Structure 1
Amino acid sequence: MKLHKESKGTITVATILFIIISVLAIYFLKMWSLLIIMPLLVIYSLVFWFFRVPLRDILEHRENVIAPVDGKVVMIKEVDETEFLKGKAIQVSIFMSPLNVHICRYPVSGDVIYKKYHPGKYLVAWHEKSSTENERTTVAIKTPTNHEVVFRQIAGYVARRIVFYCNEGDQAKAGHEFGFIKFGSRMDVFLPLDTEIICKIGDITKGGLDVIARMKD
């Protein structure tokens, strides 16, 4: 199983803790040490599972909006996007549990025209205000169809580290990685009002593969 590059520090710490606690359990608890070691082994394995990088065949897209993450669609509504678009847009929000793949992917292809990191709170990721009050990043892309699409990585109550690798002027390719969020979070995508929304609330998405919307050419 291939592991994400963001796993290095976390897995190093988890390994050290696992060894130390296991040795102490064996030394002090003897035959009862398995009561500590086995649950610890499950947690240790979940750390590796969290940082897995699935092999996915990413296609080329022009009008399609691709699911940026693995997760569950929790919101589809018309909102005012005040940071970049300065107007109304359709917001599609996808929540990621700690068991989901947490690679963040571009939802559309085009040119990166805006990026910004915002420090903030750590409300639960499904809270509506988390989009504007939590720690988050905002990225905007100008698509080949001349649309402007905004998307945000949002930290949650558990997620405390957001990374994004894109810069203004970069070429974005729908479905390809641009960042990562550790341990549970959400992504919001803000689309033009005339976008055809294909997904619905409750849908389970696979990042880079599932089409969630289609923009007019």
Structure 2
Amino acid sequence: MLKPQIPVAKEGFPFIGFMVFITLVFAILSYDLLVWPCLVLTVFVLCFFRDPERFVPPEEDAMVSPADGKVIIAEKVQDDTFTEGEAFKVSIFMNVFNVHVNRAPMAGTVEKIVYRPGKFYAADSARGALQNEYCGTVLQTASGKKIAFVQIAGLIARRIICWLEPGDSILKGRRFGLIRFGSRVDLYLPLDTEILVQVGQKVRAGETVIANLK
């Protein structure tokens, strides 16, 4: 029998523990004016690092969303960094109330990890897309398709966490990282991919089918 997954990302434990400690100290000292704001912040941090289980669609060609949030871009682009050619780009913006654990959109083998330090502009802005810090994963699927998913920092996101390394094999829907306090994940897909989402649509990591690979 599988052990139940603790519904909180382990990267959040230090932050949650710190906020609980501060709240308890203020409560013991009877600093009532500080206890309530700290309690609210504790609940916020706990919610931010929540990590619920998801039900991954079994269809082999069904690509799932790598992040919770809202689709802000769905268009053809020239991608010279990750897939090295024309691609269909889908961008998902995560606000501070979304689950921030990221999941693999497809099963496959990691070809390379592309990391670039950068700025911390608003992730849903054009300037943020061009200049912000990012960590991109290039994946070859079992059918030989090349896709990329890119974690992009945002205005208050200061830490991108990616657990993958070149050569790793990963299953669709498996957790691969998170962006601490932010903010956006971009997908670069083959042009013949059947895109199933539209700009403005809300999606859930590991569950929402955003495309079918052909």
TM-score, structure 1 as length reference: 0.90
Give yes or no for contact 2:22–2:38 (8 Å, CA) kept in 1: no
Q: Distance in 1 between matches of 2:130 and 2:111?
A: 20
Which of these two proteins has the greater Rg computed from alpha carbons? 1
Q: For 1:5, give the aligned amino acid.
A: K
Q: State the percentage of identical aligned residues.
A: 37
Deviations 1:140-183 (A, max 9, x none): 11112221001100110011111111111111211111101111
Structure 1: unaligned runs, 5 residues or longer: 28-32
- 2:189 counterpart of 1:184: no
Alignment counterpart, residue 8 of structure 1, candidates 6, 9, 13 = 13
1:137, CA displacement in angstroms?
Answer: 0.2
Contact 2:161 2:178 in 1 (8 A): yes
Which residue matches 1:94? 92
- Counterpart in the other structure of 1:83: 81
The answer as to whether partners of 1:151 and 1:190 remain within 8 angstroms in 2 is yes
In structure 2, give the amino acid aligned to 1:209.
E
User: What is residue 115 of structure 2 aligned with on the other side?
Assistant: 117
Shift of 1:21: 4.1
For the residues of structure 1 that align with 2:26 and 2:95, how far apart are their CA atoms?
Answer: 27
The whole-number CA distance in structure 2 between the counterparts of 1:145 and 1:16 is: 50
Q: Distance in 1 between matches of 2:22 and 2:75?
A: 44
Q: Which amino acid aligns with 1:7?
A: G
Q: 1: distance between equivalents of 2:73 and 2:82?
A: 20
* Alignment partner of 1:162 out of 160, 163, 178: 160
One-letter amino acid matched to 1:16: F
Supply the distance in 2 between the matched residues of 1:89 and 1:105 (Cα, whole angstroms): 21
- Rounded to whole Å, the distance in 1 between the matches of 2:130 and 2:148 is 13
How many pairs align? 209
Amino acid of the structure 1 residue aligned with 2:11? E
Distance 2:7 2:64 in 1: 23
Q: Normalising to structure 2: TM-score of the pair? A: 0.91
